[in-house]
Amino acid sequence: DVFITDPPYGDAVKYEEILDFFIAWLRKSPPSEFGDWVWDSRRALAIKGEDENFRRSMVAAYKRMAECMPDNGIQVIMFTHQSGSIWADMANIVWASGLHVTAAWYVVTETESALREGSYVKGTVLLVLRRRQGMHKTTRDDLAWEIQEEVEAKVQALAGLNQSARDLYRDENVFEDADIQMAGYAAALRVLTRYAIIDGREMAAEAIRPRVKGETTFVDGLIAFAVDTANQCLVPRGI
pLDDT tens digits for 140-198? 888 888 888 887 787 777 777 766 766 666 666 666 666 777 777 777 788 888 888 88
Question: Looking at residue 24, what is its pLDDT?
Answer: 86
* Averaged confidence pLDDT in the chain: 78
- Residue 122 pLDDT level (bands cut at 50, 70, 90): low
User: Quick one: pLDDT band at residue 125, thresholds 50, 70, 90?
Assistant: confident
Which residue blocks in the chain are alpha helix, DSSP H?
A: 15-28, 52-68, 84-96, 140-168, 177-192, 203-207, 218-234
The mean pLDDT value for 93-120 works out to 73
Of residues 151 and 24, more confidence is placed in 24
Q: Does 117 score more than 60 pLDDT?
A: no
SS3 content of the chain, % helix, strand, coil (to 5): 50, 15, 35
pLDDT surpassing 90 at residue 237 = no
Q: What is the pLDDT of residue 166?
A: 66
What residues contact residue 70 under an 8 Å CB cut-off, 6+ apart?
A: 1
Asked if 80 and 13 touch (Cβ cutoff 8 Å), the reply is no
Phi, psi of 173 (to 5 degrees): -70, 145
pLDDT given at position 116: 53
Distances in Å between the alpha carbon of 54 and those of 50, 58, 67, 193, 212? 6, 6, 20, 20, 15
Per-residue pLDDT, 121: 58
Q: Which residue has the higher pLDDT, 175 or 77?
A: 77
Q: What percent of the chain has pLDDT over 70?
A: 80
The pLDDT, as a whole number, for residue 214 is 77
Q: For the segment 6-19, what is each residue's pLDDT rounded down to a tens digit?
A: 887 665 677 778 88
